[in-house]
């Protein structure tokens, strides 16, 4: 049997989106977003090393509406990836594969990441 005639599984759009599959791809998407977001972290650290003017420029950008939008997305992506990552670590250890548990941990990830993001912003608003 030639390699190009081997059976293929159906393409992604055939499947109905489910909590499990949506959370799975979200883990990848937030991972990529966070990787891009490291540019911001590096810029912030380099600016701190460069001096007051450079640092004020970064802080000014982060304080703009676009900066807040990026920071909010960054913080939610981080909290989501962190919570979903912990869920993955439990799977790696061999726990939580029962269908009911998978859905429970899935919703726990959604809720915990939202709560952690709100807590982070509550701290920021309280100290600003």
Partner 1 sequence: MASKTMRSMRTPLARVRGLGSAKEGFHHWWMQRLTAIALVPLALWFVVSVAGMAGMDHAAAVTWIGSPAVTVLLVLLIAATFWHAQLGVQVVIEDYVHGEGCKLVALIAVKFAAVLLAVAGIVAVLRVSFGG
Binding residues: 81
CA–CA gap between residue 96 and residue 57 (Å, rounded) = 46
Q: Give every CB contact of residue 108 below 8 A, 6+ residues apart in sequence.
A: 83, 87
Nearer to partner 1, 21 or 59 (CB): 59
CA–CA gap between residue 93 and residue 97 (Å, rounded) = 10
Assess 28 for contact with partner 1 (CB under 8 A).
yes
**Residue from 20, 63, 64, 69 binding partner 1 (CB under 8 A):** 63
CA-based angle 64:28:37, to the nearest 5?
25
CA–CA gap between residue 25 and residue 12 (Å, rounded) = 11
Count of CA atoms in the C-beta half-sphere (13 A) of 35:
6
- Tell me which stretch binds partner 1 (CB under 8 A): 12-20, 56-64, 97-105, 107-115: 56-64
Closest CA to 102 of 84, 120, 118, 117: 84
Nearer to partner 1, 66 or 86 (CB): 86
Nearer to partner 1, 2 or 100 (CB): 2
Smallest distance from the beta carbon of 46 to partner 1, in angstroms?
Answer: 5
Assess 92 for contact with partner 1 (CB under 8 A).
yes
Could you list the residues that contact partner 1 (CB under 8 A)? Answer: 1, 3, 6, 28, 31-32, 34-35, 38-39, 41-42, 45-46, 48-49, 51-52, 55-56, 59, 63, 75, 78-79, 82, 85-86, 88-89, 92, 120-121, 123-125, 127-128
């Amino acid at each position: 049997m030639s390699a190009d005639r081997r059976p293929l599984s159906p393409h992604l759009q055939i499947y109905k989106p489910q909590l499990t599959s949506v959370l799975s791809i979200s883990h990848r998407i937030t991972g990529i977003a966070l990787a891009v977001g490291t540019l911001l972290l590096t810029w912030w650290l380099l600016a701190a090393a460069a001096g007051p003017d450079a640092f004020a420029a970064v802080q000014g950008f982060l304080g703009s509406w676009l900066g807040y939008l990026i920071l909010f997305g960054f913080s939610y992506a981080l909290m989501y990836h962190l919570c979903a990552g912990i869920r993955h670590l439990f799977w790696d250890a061999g726990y939580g594969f029962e269908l009911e548990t998978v859905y429970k941990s899935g919703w726990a990830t959604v809720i915990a990441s939202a709560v952690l993001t709100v807590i982070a912003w509550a701290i920021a608003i309280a100290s600003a």
